[in-house]
């Protein structure tokens, strides 16, 4: 019997997250589930992605006993759906993350650090959802711990803490693997280490960019303007009909650079310096798309939106991780 695993609104409709179905093909498993759970379930399946044992599959693929078939509806990374289920409210999570970052930036350093760790936590949990859907193991708590350690190291040690974060990430993730046998496989601790390293460096970088060692007290403000504008406009273009000479990646990059320059001009900062900083941020945001695909699907592709509610945060975390060294060198 094949195992069928359900997420988001499909799980709500079915009233369960797992079940076993006897069938020879993926399509047979889905047909049996549709018959069991009704037309609402079937409509949700039509816009969902299909995975078998961590790999994307089609209805014609054969399944064997103990194969795991996973259905990913839109909220978990499937195609867009015309209907709105209660679980689709998770789509507002990126807006909440943006609001938290903006509001926390007006507060003291302790609140800012707490907000950064909280954002790292929801990002790690979102990554974990994508890994779980593919039948892979991930250690989100290790990533959050690394983010907290990076923020603390930067707050106490300044620039030295940024470099120390690399060692802390390695120590925490490998220590996690020693303490918990499930995390000892290389395909578990390698992506966890990369995510932890990015989260830790991003937290340390954002702490330092607002500290006395930052070359500009408005550096974080410019960063937030650049990444929010770039990601939002790029996301809008990706959902529009094809436009000649305009794609989500070039839109994200160009808007991030222009927003960085515009913010510098408004606040009477070094416009040329922030032009170069904006270019670095733009490259990181675009590179983050490939990183996101690698994290969330196991392959590198730029043609499909990676699964996950906070997939757009992947590039922002990468940009944040390199931001402090960038402004120190350029400004």
Give CA–CA dist 288/51, Å, rounded.
23
Helices 140-157 and 159-179 pack at an angle, to 10 degrees, of: 150
Tens of pLDDT, residues 262-282: 999 999 999 999 999 999 999
68 and 106 belong to one structural domain? no
74 and 53 belong to one structural domain? yes
Question: 2-6 — which CB contacts under 8 Å span 24+ positions?
Answer: 2/29, 2/63, 2/64, 2/65, 2/66, 2/67, 2/68, 2/69, 3/66, 3/67, 3/68, 3/69, 4/29, 4/33, 4/68, 4/69, 4/70, 4/71, 5/68, 5/69, 5/70, 5/71, 5/133, 6/71
Sequence-separated (6 or more) residues with CB below 8 Å from residue 268: none
- Bigger pLDDT: 317 vs 247: 317
286 and 316 belong to one structural domain? yes
Say how many domains are in the chain: 2
Binning pLDDT at 50, 70 and 90, where does residue 242 land?
low
The last residue of a domain, from among 46, 63, 84: 84
106 and 72 belong to one structural domain? no
226 and 140 belong to one structural domain? yes
Residue-level pLDDT at 83 = 44
Residue-level pLDDT at 81 = 43
Binning pLDDT at 50, 70 and 90, where does residue 74 land?
low
CATH number reported for the structural domain that contains residue 32 in this entry:
3.10.20.30
Query: Residue 57 belongs to what domain range?
Result: 2-84
The last residue of a domain, from among 35, 53, 84: 84
Token code pair at residue 160:
């030295």
Q: Which region among 153-167, 216-230, 239-253, 314-328 has the lowest average model confidence (pLDDT)?
A: 239-253
Residue-level pLDDT at 303 = 61
Whole-model pTM: value is 0.77
14 and 139 belong to one structural domain? no
Give CA–CA dist 287/170, Å, rounded.
23
Give CA–CA dist 203/145, Å, rounded.
11
Token code pair at residue 215:
């070359």
79 and 119 belong to one structural domain? no
Cβ atoms of 146 and 168 closer than 8 Å = yes
120 and 95 belong to one structural domain? yes
The last residue of a domain, from among 25, 52, 84: 84
178 and 243 belong to one structural domain? yes
């Amino acid at each position: 019997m094949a195992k069928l695993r359900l997420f988001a609104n499909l799980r709500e409709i079915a009233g369960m997250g797992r079940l076993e179905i006897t069938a020879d093909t993926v399509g047979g498993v889905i047909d049996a589930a549709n018959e069991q759970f009704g037309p609402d379930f079937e409509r949700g399946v039509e816009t969902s992605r299909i995975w078998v044992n961590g790999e994307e599959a089609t209805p014609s693929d054969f399944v064997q006993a103990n194969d795991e078939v996973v259905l990913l509806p839109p909220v978990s990374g499937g195609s867009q759906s015309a209907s709105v289920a209660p679980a689709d409210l998770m789509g507002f999570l990126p807006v909440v993350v943006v609001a938290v970052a903006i509001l926390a930036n007006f507060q003291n350093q302790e609140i800012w650090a707490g907000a950064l760790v909280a954002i790292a936590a929801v990002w790690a949990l979102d990554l974990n959802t994508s890994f779980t859907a593919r039948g892979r193991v991930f250690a989100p708590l290790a990533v959050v711990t690394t983010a907290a350690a990076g923020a603390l190291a930067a707050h106490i040690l300044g620039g030295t803490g940024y470099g120390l974060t690399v060692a802390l990430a390695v120590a925490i993730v490998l220590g996690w693997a020693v303490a918990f046998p499930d995390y000892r496989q290389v395909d578990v601790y390698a992506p966890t280490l990369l995510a932890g390293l990015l989260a830790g460096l991003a937290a340390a970088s954002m702490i330092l960019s607002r500290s006395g060692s930052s070359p500009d007290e408005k550096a974080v403000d410019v960063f937030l303007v650049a990444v929010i504008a770039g990601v939002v406009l790029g996301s809008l273009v990706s959902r529009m009909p094809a436009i000649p000479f305009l794609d989500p990646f070039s839109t994200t990059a160009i808007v991030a650079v222009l927003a960085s320059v515009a913010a510098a001009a408004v606040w009477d900062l070094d416009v040329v310096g922030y032009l170069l900083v904006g270019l670095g941020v733009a490259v990181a945001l675009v590179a983050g798309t490939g990183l996101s695909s690698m994290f969330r699907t196991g392959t590198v592709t730029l043609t499909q939106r990676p699964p996950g509610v906070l997939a757009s945060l992947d590039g922002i975390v990468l940009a944040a991780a390199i931001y402090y060294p960038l402004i120190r060198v350029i400004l």
